[in-house]
Structure 1
Amino acid sequence: MLETPPGTLGVFNDAWGGYLQDIGFFGPDQGKGGKYLVLPPDYQSEIPDGYFVVPSKTYRVLSYIRAFIAEGLEAVTQYIKDQLRIYPLCQKDNPPEMEFISGSGKSFNTIFPNDYTFYEHLHRVIDGEHIGILDPETRGFFASIGIEKGKPFAPDDRMKQILTDAIKIANATARSIVWFPRTKGTMQGIQIYPDTDSAWQMLYVDKNVFFNGQDGQTMNYDAWAMFYYPYVGVTPAQAVGLPGRGSDYAIAYIDSEKNPFDGSKTYQLHLPPDPPVENFWDLTLYDNQTRSMLQTSQAFPTVGSQTEGLQKNDDGSYDIYFGPDPPRRV
């Protein structure tokens, strides 16, 4: 059970990263808040009335919710604490008290292994999940290297070496797709400004969050890797440019000269006046090795329209600089 307050934006994904249901403005509650009931695979019991039902093909479900901070961070934090509730269906008549844990200021690893142990991790996930997490074809691919639900994963030394080489190749392939996508091939539709050959990219090829091609029937696995290698959490609301409701993303992995960003250099981003947003815009920096937020002495690797003291140019535009030291002229 998840009770969400009004005025939020969120989503449910299954354990394989598949989209299940939106929460908030693009969900069935339409931004008014409501009670969501997430059901596991093969659920056979009675479904009570009064809930937005979210069936899942996996036992584990990812959900995240965004609340807006126009009234201040402390105010919205308290707003969420007062109204957000998560509890088992069997405790709906007497929900336990919520415990909220802040992740701010804490260090934790969000990166999958980049060596042979990745396959051990994958086996643990598949072994602990409902068999429906994978379609038969994908399940067969994993079975061919010894990963099957209900069976031990015990590759010999030869297979371990093959898998060690495979994860290196896969890692390099995914990075190549992300940093230098084939915009005249499988990744056509990822560029925001294709006529200028700009480095700015969208979050999804053709804003297709299901990765199933222009015909809706053909999987584009380059587009699939383009998203799932650096990101997590799929929702159509991430590809809807409606001010005040949806969210949209512009992403750059390389600079204007088509070189990967270098942390020892200083870069300038010019933002024209009057960005087409209602609630906020921001610029966030990520580490190109960990795909996580950049860790520096600065508390948060982001600046935006809600940043206190952000300087605006006379014409209403902004010049944002990022690098090891502030430019002398700023």
Structure 2
Amino acid sequence: MTSNNQVDFPYEISEKIIYSRALQSVVWGIPAVNYDRIYQAFLSVGGSNNQIAYSTKPGNWKNQLLTPNADAVFALVFFDTMISGPLVLEIPQAAEFTILGTIMTCWQLPLEDVGTDGADQGNGSHYLILPPNYKDTVPTGYTVLSSPNSQGYALLRCMPKSDKDIDLARAIIYMEQIKLYPLANLEVGNSTSYIDITDKNFDAVIKYDISFFESLHRIVQEEPWLERDMLMVDILKEIGIEKDKPFTPDVKKRKILLEAVSDAKEYLDKRYEGYKAFYKSSKWFFPADPSLLNSWFSGFKENDIYPIDARAAAYYWGFGSLKRTKSTISQFYLFLICDRYGNKLDGSQRYKLTLPADVPVNKYWSVTAYNRSTHSYIKGVAYSSRSSLSQDLRINKNDGTITIFFGPEPPDELHSNWIPVRANENFELVFRFYGVEKPILEKKWILPDVESL
């Protein structure tokens, strides 16, 4: 033993402890790292906190978020109440649009859903986001959200009526009416700063290298410890992440951290591939655990459950969360990574997906192709999605079915039903249902497997 009663472990055991705690830190910390990657991407294109990022081109491959919606006009509202104090987020009345969104902390804990299915039910509202432990008098007339963190963001999506230029323009005009400003600025005006990220390289893909721990270190420095996570204080200290201290791993520790983050990615990938098929007759799956959904709805306040692994698996492939959807499921996603025979979807091959007639949604459906490794848009393609909003989509007049094609080159016919992918890259598909109707959840309308051509 050393003089301070700490055990002087043999080198091999000490190394194993660092590895195991690094692995655990990756699984625990991925929601915050996911957020930090998005915020760092915003900084790289000239943005800052308490500003709004938006894009005028849905599906632009330069938007390298994790499985973003390729058919909706979106905005990302970044806030930091440590800088500004309480913040007001104005969500305008939805009017002709379907507006979906959630306000979240930097740990992607949902504070409230907004828009059509949110607290305002599409009527619009002024949401007041309070700093941690806020004690001052709260004014009336607001939907008040108390946040345990100072940083966070809102993910907002406006669903246009179609992919026509005029409908997209109307959706963009709506998004430009969203406002964010400090409560203290009411006397001097409520100006909002918007950053158009269209055609800018917005790389928010999680990197499973040393930058993962650098992101985690930033969050630890800037945010208060949450009571439920106090166990992680000493675990992070062991790998070199400690409040008010720099993160400077030596060569030996850096090597261990790189091995741990690589293995964590492999673990999460195996979980992703292991989700149970939604249907008995096809391989589409829903990549989320009920324990995570219940924890979102409760705010992680249930005493006997803290689904860290399920949470990590979700933020491995996507971002965002939901607060109210437990009672009304209005949006539903299914994923696919292989063909009917279990072979990985290969961008060098050609495939087709034949949708049965009358997809049971009252808003719209879409299918989008993503890079299997990054879970983001396939780089360099002209577009990534086909949907019921696509005006040129061809429907089989005989039976109402719709055939979607995937491949590096378009089919000889039905070019408008083709989604391009890149040769020599595996890809994955996400099928989105908006305005979900009973036949989907009751599995009476079945999404079939893709077939190799």
TM-score w.r.t. length of structure 2: 0.64
State the shift of 1:111 in Å. 1.8
**Whole-Å Cα distance in 2 between the matches of residues 64 and 233 of structure 1?**
7
Q: Does 1:192 align with 2:278?
A: yes
Q: Can you list the C-alpha shifts for 1:171-207, whole angstroms capped at 9, x where unaligned?
A: 11111211x2164xxxxxxx321x33x3211142248
**Whole-Å Cα distance in 1 between the matches of residues 379 and 156 of structure 2?**
23
Residues 128, 206 of structure 1: alpha-carbon distance in 2 compared, 3 angstrom cutoff: closer
**Whole-Å Cα distance in 2 between the matches of residues 286 and 108 of structure 1?**
16
- Picking from 127, 130, 142, the partner of 2:224 is 130
AA in 1 matched with 2:118: G
Give the match's secondary structure for 2:114.
strand
Structure 1 segments, 4+ long, off by >6 Å, are: 238-241
State the shift of 1:324 in Å. 0.3
- Picking from 27, 49, 74, the partner of 2:118 is 27
1:139-288 alignment runs, 5 A limit = 139-178=233-272, 180-181=273-274, 183=276, 191-193=277-279, 195-196=280-281, 198-206=282-290, 208-210=292-294, 217-236=304-323, 242=329, 246-288=330-372
AA in 1 matched with 2:392: G
**Whole-Å Cα distance in 1 between the matches of residues 391 and 291 of structure 2?**
32
State the shift of 1:240 in Å. 7.0
Give the match's secondary structure for 1:316.
coil
Give the match's secondary structure for 1:251.
strand
Residues 204, 27 of structure 1: alpha-carbon distance in 2 compared, 3 angstrom cutoff: same
Unpaired runs of 5+ in structure 2?
1-87, 297-301, 415-453
Residue 69 of structure 1 contacts residue 76 of structure 1 at CA under 8 Å; is this kept in 2? yes
Residues 234, 175 of structure 1: alpha-carbon distance in 2 compared, 3 angstrom cutoff: same
Q: Does 1:84 align with 2:170?
A: no
Give the match's secondary structure for 1:46.
coil
Residue 238 of structure 1 contacts residue 249 of structure 1 at CA under 8 Å; is this kept in 2? no
Specify the alignment match of 1:186 in structure 2: none
Aligned length: 312
**Whole-Å Cα distance in 2 between the matches of residues 27 and 254 of structure 1?**
34
**Whole-Å Cα distance in 1 between the matches of residues 275 and 344 of structure 2?**
16
Specify the alignment match of 1:104 in structure 2: 198
AA in 1 matched with 2:89: L
Specify the alignment match of 2:20 in structure 1: none
State the shift of 1:239 in Å. 6.9
TM-score w.r.t. length of structure 1: 0.87
Give the match's secondary structure for 1:291.
coil
**Whole-Å Cα distance in 2 between the matches of residues 126 and 46 of structure 1?**
29
AA in 2 matched with 1:17: Q
Give the match's secondary structure for 2:335.
coil
Structure (1 or 2) with the greater strand fraction = 2
Give the match's secondary structure for 2:370.
coil
State the shift of 1:133 in Å. 8.1
**Whole-Å Cα distance in 2 between the matches of residues 39 and 309 of structure 1?**
46
Residue 292 of structure 2 contacts residue 311 of structure 2 at CA under 8 Å; is this kept in 1? no
Q: Can you list the C-alpha shifts for 1:78-98, whole angstroms capped at 9, x where unaligned?
A: 1232x3111111112333433
**Whole-Å Cα distance in 1 between the matches of residues 197 and 325 of structure 2?**
23
Higher relative contact order (CA 8 A, sep 6+): 2
Q: Does 1:121 align with 2:215?
A: yes
Give the match's secondary structure for 2:154.
strand
Q: Identity rate of aligned residues, in percent?
A: 30
Residue 110 of structure 2 contacts residue 322 of structure 2 at CA under 8 Å; is this kept in 1? yes
Q: Alpha carbon RMSD of aligned pairs, Å?
A: 2.2
Q: Can you list the C-alpha shifts for 1:11-67, whole angstroms capped at 9, x where unaligned?
A: 011111222211123322122100001111121222111000111111111101112
- Picking from 185, 188, 193, the partner of 1:94 is 188
**Whole-Å Cα distance in 2 between the matches of residues 241 and 255 of structure 1?**
31
AA in 2 matched with 1:80: M
**Whole-Å Cα distance in 2 between the matches of residues 52 and 90 of structure 1?**
17
Residues 253, 170 of structure 1: alpha-carbon distance in 2 compared, 3 angstrom cutoff: same
Residues 237, 70 of structure 1: alpha-carbon distance in 2 compared, 3 angstrom cutoff: farther
Give the match's secondary structure for 2:155.
strand
Structure (1 or 2) with the greater helix fraction = 2
Residue 208 of structure 2 contacts residue 261 of structure 2 at CA under 8 Å; is this kept in 1? yes
Farther off after superposition, 4-13 or 133-142: 133-142
Specify the alignment match of 2:394 in structure 1: 311
State the shift of 1:297 in Å. 3.5
Give the match's secondary structure for 1:121.
helix
State the shift of 1:114 in Å. 1.7
Residue 68 of structure 1 contacts residue 76 of structure 1 at CA under 8 Å; is this kept in 2? yes
Q: Does 1:74 align with 2:157?
A: no
Residue 20 of structure 1 contacts residue 54 of structure 1 at CA under 8 Å; is this kept in 2? yes
Unpaired runs of 5+ in structure 1?
184-190
Q: Can you list the C-alpha shifts for 1:267-297, whole angstroms capped at 9, x where unaligned?
A: 1111111111111111111111222112233
Q: Does 1:5 align with 2:98?
A: no
Farther off after superposition, 126-135 or 140-149: 126-135
Give the match's secondary structure for 1:286.
strand
Residues 223, 91 of structure 1: alpha-carbon distance in 2 compared, 3 angstrom cutoff: same
Specify the alignment match of 1:187 in structure 2: none
**Whole-Å Cα distance in 2 between the matches of residues 133 and 119 of structure 1?**
21
